[in-house]
Structure 1
């Protein structure tokens, strides 16, 4: 299976309000300098599981895998995991919240919406 469908991509960008969920910067989705971060990695060669490219597992961030916030998360996996941007095996994206740039915690839903939980302390 390849990456997310264009419908899913649009859904995630709309949910995230064209904003990097790590730093809060506006993301120009026409430039290509943004990513939909897979919270739980696809693994080498991708995954046959449909949810891996679903909205609960994807989050809008600025940069590529080596630049800006996406690059930072790749270089700092423990910090990214602490905020829910990186998940381990056995963690489910629709059950593990993220802490966004504003310190709000959100549960990302499988239907492409999000549910506010609380502000982190």
Structure 2
């Protein structure tokens, strides 16, 4: 016994129309521009700059020292060379999993502090002292914590 008073009508299913390529919203590229990638690769020699979970493996990723946040960042300096480290996959995983240790070594820059990556010293594998990275792909010695004896 059916409670329905009218019979069901069968209609063919229609697929939703795909938007034309001109009307699609283009996703914003939130990564490093090619020119900045080249600066970072030149600085590192395309080898891992952290070497905590490797033995100088080839760098296959560029790690953002100060995270971009969900959806990227509109701040231009987030995608500059001072904010990028050339790393291998195991070291990138290590940096993200040992966040407090990584922040102490400058591999991560806290979003809570108002410092830019070029103001935070970072310990790279090719040096024994923390360095300050610059946006032109170079580095300089950090003067933080260094006392001068100029007599």
Q: TM-score range by the shorter chain?
A: 0.7 to 0.9
Q: Does 1:9 align with 2:33?
A: no
Superposition CA RMSD, Å: 1.9
Query: What runs of 5+ residues in structure 1 fail to find an aligned partner?
Result: none
**Larger relative contact order (Cα-Cα within 8 Å, sequence gap ≥ 6):** 1
Query: What runs of 5+ residues in structure 2 fail to find an aligned partner?
Result: 1-28, 144-151
Counterpart position of 1:80:
102
Counterpart position of 2:115:
91
- Alpha-carbon separation, structure 2, partners of 1:41 and 1:47: 9
Q: Does 1:25 align with 2:53?
A: no
If each structure's strand is expressed as a fraction of its own residues, which one has the higher value? 1
Scaled by the length of structure 2, what TM-score is found? 0.67
Scaled by the length of structure 1, what TM-score is found? 0.82
Q: Does 1:114 align with 2:139?
A: yes
> Does the CA-based 8 Å contact 2:39-2:136 persist in structure 1?
no
Q: How does 1:31-42 map to 2 (within 5 A)?
A: 34-42=60-68
Q: When the two structures are aligned, how many residues end up with a matched partner?
A: 110
- Alpha-carbon separation, structure 1, partners of 2:132 and 2:66: 15
Shift of 1:26: 4.0
C-alpha distance after superposition, 1:21-43 (max 9, x if no partner): 1116141x5xxxx2111000000
Shift of 1:72: 0.7
Q: Does 1:56 align with 2:78?
A: no
- Alpha-carbon separation, structure 2, partners of 1:37 and 1:85: 9
